[in-house]
């Protein structure tokens, strides 16, 4: 997903640094800190809460290399709690943190037609809106002034998506863009953890988690 976003930006923008090679026209950095050197805008697309904090912290983390007033656009699906912690960390480094959660499978990402939900103050969003437009041809919605609000919207959308699929018995994987059970389990755990922190019982999500664990135990984790 991240490479598709990067390629859409690269097609329309110069001076682009990455940590993973996506082809000609980019400079590949060895560590997160080098990736953000002299960057006004940083975009990340990682896996979970843990990976977001791992790339942020330490002498090689991106926070140590961020310019004052730089803006970090994080498209990773993480918990609202993690988003709030990352927002505070960025404030300590005089930088801005935007949660920019995306919806759409890989073929949609390659076409630059993802939908994005943004959370942060409007001034920061306005500065980076042209960059987000490069990969969000589907739609862009500003859901609030706090980054964590975008994470709530994304996790809520995930719950509704899982519920609809199970209710309609739609278990067939699309031709492209198979996310995999491990990815789904990661999101379900994020939803359950958020529910626990807010004293909200999510029995349906617990059932889905048990189904995912059963699938993994039967060695079917690579199926959608």
178 pLDDT tier (thresholds 50, 70, 90): very low
| 155, pLDDT greater than 60 | yes
Task: List, for residues 207-219, the tens digit of each pLDDT value.
Answer: 888 888 888 888 7
Express as a percent the part of the chain with pLDDT over 70: 84
Q: pTM of the full predicted structure?
A: 0.83
Task: List, for residues 110-142, the tens digit of each pLDDT value.
Answer: 999 999 999 999 999 999 999 999 999 879 999
Say if residues 96 and 69 touch (Cβ distance below 8 Å). yes
Task: List, for residues 26-80, the tens digit of each pLDDT value.
Answer: 567 788 998 898 889 999 999 999 999 999 999 999 999 999 999 999 999 999 9
- DSSP per residue, 121-180: -HHHHHHHHHHHHHHB-SEEEEEESSHHHHHHHHHHHHHHHHHHHHHTT--PPPSS----
221 pLDDT tier (thresholds 50, 70, 90): low
HSE of 52, CA atoms in CB hemisphere, 13 A: 26
Predicted pLDDT at 176: 41
Mean pLDDT (whole number) for 91-118 = 93
Predicted pLDDT at 208: 84
Predicted pLDDT at 104: 86
Give the pairing type, strands 27-28 and 17-18.
Answer: parallel
DSSP code for 65: G
Predicted pLDDT at 114: 94
Predicted pLDDT at 200: 85
| 175, pLDDT greater than 70 | no
């Amino acid at each position: 997903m991240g490479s598709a976003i990067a390629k859409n930006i690269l097609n329309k923008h110069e001076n682009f640094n990455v940590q993973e090679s996506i082809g000609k026209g980019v400079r590949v950095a060895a560590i997160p800190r080098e990736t953000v050197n002299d960057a006004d805008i940083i975009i990340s697309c990682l896996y979970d809460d843990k990976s977001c904090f791992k790339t942020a912290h330490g002498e090689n983390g991106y926070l140590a290399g961020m310019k004052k007033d730089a803006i970090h656009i994080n498209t990773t699906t993480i918990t609202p709690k993690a988003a709030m912690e990352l927002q505070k960390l960025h404030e300590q480094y005089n930088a801005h943190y935007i949660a920019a959660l995306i919806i759409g499978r890989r073929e949609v990402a390659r076409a630059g037609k993802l939908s994005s939900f943004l959370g942060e103050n409007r001034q920061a969003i306005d500065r980076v809106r042209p960059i987000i437009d490069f990969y969000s041809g589907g739609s862009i919605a500003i859901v609030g002034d706090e980054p964590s609000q975008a994470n709530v919207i994304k996790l809520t959308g995930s719950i509704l998506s899982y519920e609809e699929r199970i209710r309609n018995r739609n278990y067939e994987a699309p031709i492209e863009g198979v996310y995999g059970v491990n990815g789904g389990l990661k999101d379900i755990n994020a939803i359950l953890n958020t529910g626990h922190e807010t004293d909200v019982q999510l029995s349906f999500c617990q059932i889905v988690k048990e189904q995912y664990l059963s699938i993994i135990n039967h060695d079917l984790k690579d199926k959608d």
